[in-house]
Structure 1
Amino acid sequence: MKNELGFFPTPYEDEDFRSLTYRYHIRSGNLNITKTIEELFNIKTHRLAHFPRNLDYLAERLPEKLFLTTDYFIANHTLLALFLPFLSLDEREKILVEFRCASDRSEIGTRLLSPIVSTLVRYCPTCLIEDFERFRECYIHRVHQYNFVTVCPVHRFNLVTHCPKCGAPLSDSFGRFILMEPTCSCGHYLGDGRRVEVESPTQIQLFNEQLARDVKFVIDNVDKLNVEIFKEKMLRLYSHKGYLASQGMFINTKFSKGFLGLFSEEMLQTVGLDSIYLSNRTALKVLNFNGRPKNQLLHILGMEYLSQSVKGFISSEFTTSPFGAGPWSCKNTYCPDYNRFVIQGIKVVLTKKLNIFLESLLVLAVA
């Protein structure tokens, strides 16, 4: 049994794990962050990484009264929450092993960070003020730290990485300092940088706000979502929206025209996407849930296009299929039920032959 820690901060709602570590650091009396990281994770590094490692080592040493586990930290306080629902079980386990255990060489950063996670910590000015008033300290909100989230999903204010008055950075990429008060290093009050509400927001503002809300929905429901749910919902919506041909092939041209018609070039540029890149085989890039690490932004935009929001996508219920409503007649000439309507259900098989995402559907007879 490892020596139990004398204390550990109680996590705040949606608090990034870097913030938790830093709050422990300033209470510990350690002279530098390197000592704190070694103390908590048994890892020697001078950098407070975006993705923590060796969480099992920490969880085993936490005061029992906190009831905090590795799985709890991963789901509620790490940036991995946006990635997990889109990964296959095998990919999930490979990545989770690196979070739970220590390793000399981690591939988490190179596989997941770019272009998803912001290098510098992002803050909502109103969150800073409200958190300080409530807790007497500020903390990093996890939902703000993804590159394509440019506004706060709660307050709708633009996120900041530097002081609007003097340009001083509000953090560094090594995590050696994090805001604990709503002021920059020069003493400027960050609450003055809040955006004034406008009566008629632009389409780009509405686009960014919806995207922020959808990211929040995914990370808040990480334990309820998985890639199989996404596949099943996507296939039904393909068919319902008329993007699936009767033989099971995806109508890419139709989807591409509609998708790029909804999301303008300017909208896509604000989140680092290029319409020229997307115009080629749009469906495969946006909607191919193959369970491997991809750009989650594209998947989220695909859900928004089909159902206006990720929440709407998940709650959608359609029973349509490329073959219409059942029952269906048997087309096997060797079957005694040939041409009789005996097939009561279908099983969908997703393949990727010849670069076709949805290449075939298998119809099964039900006894």
Structure 2
Amino acid sequence: MMLPDGYPDEALYSIIARWQIRTGVFDLRSTSELLFGRESRRPVLGIQTGIADLVEKGSMSADEIIYRHTLYPYYKGFRKWLRMNDILNAPHALWTDLERELRLASCPLCIVSDFENFGEPYWHRIHLLPGVMVCPQHNVMLITHCPMCGQSIADSKRAYQLTPTYCPAGHSLLNEIRNLNESLLTFAKDSQLVLFSGWNGIGAADLQQVYADVLTERVIPEFEAYPYKTQLRVQRSRFNIGSFLKNEFYFEIRNELISQFGQEFLDSLPLRPFQEGIVRYRNQRYEHKKHHYDWLYRISFRPIDVYSAPIAHIVLLGFLFGSVQNFFEMTAAKLELTGAASEVAATMEIESNEGDDYY
């Protein structure tokens, strides 16, 4: 039995689950052996390796599988160890922080739409992304646990499972809950844009330069108005606008971000909480400032290879530009980052039009 073609934005995990239904092969070891030629494959939500083996089992090309049915486009600009050769041929799965921050989730209205258009529901990639709690298409809350009994709707770690319409206790999963939080919807749409565009050439180094330019522009008036003692420190070359931005002004930026998004929303994201205080080492001769380990501080001021979680960049771009879409538009018009932003906008428009045909 050939591997079925994927539906729009269908996760590869979902395609393999549908293959199991058609073949009647549900044992995980047998599934791995038949599809990948190995018995060690375990279900993967994010980026499955061994794609070259799957190409031989169906009609989809390697690029189609990787770019349209895995989360590779979402992560590729921020994980240097993601090599195309590994995704095509590696004998092991990429089990790292990627899988730990993913979970199965479904939208009740997407399930109904999938039944109407394709005769069966499936897992959508956009619903699996970290931090996405709202369907960007329907603005309803995604379901990961039954609203009635609290049971998980599926376990992706042990088996390939189809999108359920009932929880294990028999409660319907088709009752939608409308989202009233605008930040959740904006974040979901920004995550969808990133997934569809794949950042298109805009990497962590480009973004960090953007952050430096924007934040420096914002801090100049504050720096010039700082107390006279700071000016003395500047004259003695012990203090400059960069150190002011990373220390005194950083907390103002952080508080503004919390005020804009709300502490509850930020706490719901798989990001390390903000920290305060100082830890001293070696009889207080050296001190460690805890806020230097904030995700906001790390993506803004630390070396680019230290911390590169796409979700953190999506939040910060939303804070500085209103949305990722606004950033791409402003980038195309002003910053001209290798022409990537205009390509992203065109890609997003194509994907959006394709989506209209299905929803």
TM-score, normalising length: structure 1: 0.70
| Worse-matched range after superposition: 17-26 or 290-299 | 290-299
Paired residue for 1:85, among 77, 83, 90?
77
> Which amino acid in 2 is paired with 1:52?
Q
1:270 matched to 2:260? The reply is no
Corresponding residue number in structure 1 for 2:86: 98
Q: CA deviation at 1:258?
A: 2.2
1:222 matched to 2:198? The reply is yes
Unaligned stretches of 5+ in structure 1? Answer: 1-5, 321-367
Contact 1:124 1:158 in 2 (8 A): yes
| Worse-matched range after superposition: 255-264 or 126-135 | 255-264
Query: How many Å separate the matches in 2 of 1:125 and 1:24?
Result: 23
Contact 2:135 2:141 in 1 (8 A): yes
Q: Deviations over 1:148-184 (max 9, x none)?
A: 1111111121111222234443211335252355233
| Worse-matched range after superposition: 261-270 or 152-161 | 261-270
Contact 2:17 2:162 in 1 (8 A): no
> Which amino acid in 2 is paired with 1:269?
D
Contact 2:141 2:178 in 1 (8 A): no
Q: CA deviation at 1:23?
A: 0.7
> Which amino acid in 1 is paired with 2:90?
A
Query: How many Å separate the matches in 1 of 2:186 and 2:155?
Result: 28
Q: Identity over aligned residues, as a percent?
A: 23
Q: Give 1 or 2 for the bigger CA radius of gyration.
A: 1
Superposed, 1:41-190 pairs within 5 Å as: 41-45=36-40, 47-50=42-45, 51-59=47-55, 61-63=56-58, 66=59, 68-88=60-80, 91-93=81-83, 96-103=84-91, 105-106=92-93, 108-114=94-100, 116-118=101-103, 121-180=104-163, 182-190=165-173
Q: Deviations over 1:279-321 (max 9, x none)?
A: 713553233572466332222211111111112122224869x
Contact 2:146 2:153 in 1 (8 A): yes
Query: How many Å separate the matches in 2 of 1:272 and 1:217?
Result: 19
Q: SS at the partner of 2:242?
A: coil
Q: SS at the partner of 2:17?
A: helix
Corresponding residue number in structure 2 for 1:212: 188
CA, structure 1 residues 169+98, in 2 after alignment: closer, same or farther (shift >3 Å)?
same
Query: How many Å separate the matches in 2 of 1:167 and 1:87?
Result: 34
Corresponding residue number in structure 1 for 2:218: 241
CA, structure 1 residues 295+268, in 2 after alignment: closer, same or farther (shift >3 Å)?
same
Query: How many Å separate the matches in 2 of 1:279 and 1:215?
Result: 29
Superposed, 1:206-355 pairs within 5 Å as: 206-222=182-198, 224-227=200-203, 228-242=205-219, 249=242, 251-252=245-246, 253-263=248-258, 264-273=262-271, 274-276=273-275, 280-281=291-292, 284-287=297-300, 288=302, 290-291=304-305, 294-317=308-331
Query: How many Å separate the matches in 1 of 2:303 and 2:316?
Result: 11
Corresponding residue number in structure 2 for 1:40: 35
CA, structure 1 residues 209+24, in 2 after alignment: closer, same or farther (shift >3 Å)?
same
Query: How many Å separate the matches in 2 of 1:24 and 1:292?
Result: 39
> Which amino acid in 1 is paired with 2:7?
Y
Query: How many Å separate the matches in 2 of 1:57 and 1:269?
Result: 40
Contact 1:162 1:169 in 2 (8 A): yes
Corresponding residue number in structure 2 for 1:191: 174
CA, structure 1 residues 145+28, in 2 after alignment: closer, same or farther (shift >3 Å)?
same
Q: SS at the partner of 2:82?
A: helix
Query: How many Å separate the matches in 1 of 2:130 and 2:334?
Result: 36
CA, structure 1 residues 243+212, in 2 after alignment: closer, same or farther (shift >3 Å)?
farther
CA, structure 1 residues 259+309, in 2 after alignment: closer, same or farther (shift >3 Å)?
farther
TM-score, normalising length: structure 2: 0.72
Query: How many Å separate the matches in 2 of 1:55 and 1:172?
Result: 23
| Worse-matched range after superposition: 178-187 or 302-311 | 178-187
Q: CA deviation at 1:272?
A: 4.2
Corresponding residue number in structure 2 for 1:342: none
Give 1 or 2: higher helix fraction.
Answer: 2
